Amino acid sequence: MPPTDRFVPSFAAEPPQEPTPTGRWADTLSEQFLSAVREIDTEGEELGSTGTIRWFPDRTYGGRTYVPATAQTENGFELYGFVSYLASDDQEPSAFEARADFTSETAENNPDWRLDLSDDVIATWRGPGGKRADMTLVWGVSLIPGGALVTAELANLAVDQSEVVQERFTLLAPDNYLGDYLDVKLWGRRGNELAVESLYVDDD
> How buried is 95 (Cβ within 10 angstroms: 0-12 exposed, 13-18 middle, 19+ buried)?
exposed
Examine the pLDDT at 197 and tell me if it is beyond 80: yes
Strands 157-163 and 91-103: unpaired
The pTM of this model reads 0.94
For the cut 50, the answer to whether the pLDDT of residue 174 exceeds it is yes
- Rounded Cα gap, residues 181 and 52, in angstroms: 32
- pLDDT at 204 exceeding the cut of 80: no
- 80 pLDDT more than 70: yes
Question: How far is it, in rounded angstroms, from Cα 156 to Cα 87?
Answer: 33
Q: How far apart are CA 75 and CA 148, in angstroms?
A: 33
Q: Are the CB atoms for 132 and 105 separated by under 8 Å? A: no
Q: What is the mean pLDDT of the chain?
A: 93
pLDDT one-digit tens code per residue, 18-61:
889 999 999 999 999 999 999 999 999 999 999 999 999 999 99
Considering only CA atoms, which of 123, 140, 125 is closest in space to residue 198?
A: 140
Q: What is the mean pLDDT of residues 186-196?
A: 96
> Is residue 134 scored above 90 in pLDDT?
yes
Q: Greater confidence, 200 or 117?
A: 117
Whether 10 and 1 have beta carbons less than 8 Å apart is answered as: no
All residues at 6 or more sequence positions from 75 whose CB lies less than 8 Å from its CB, including other chains: 45, 46, 47, 48
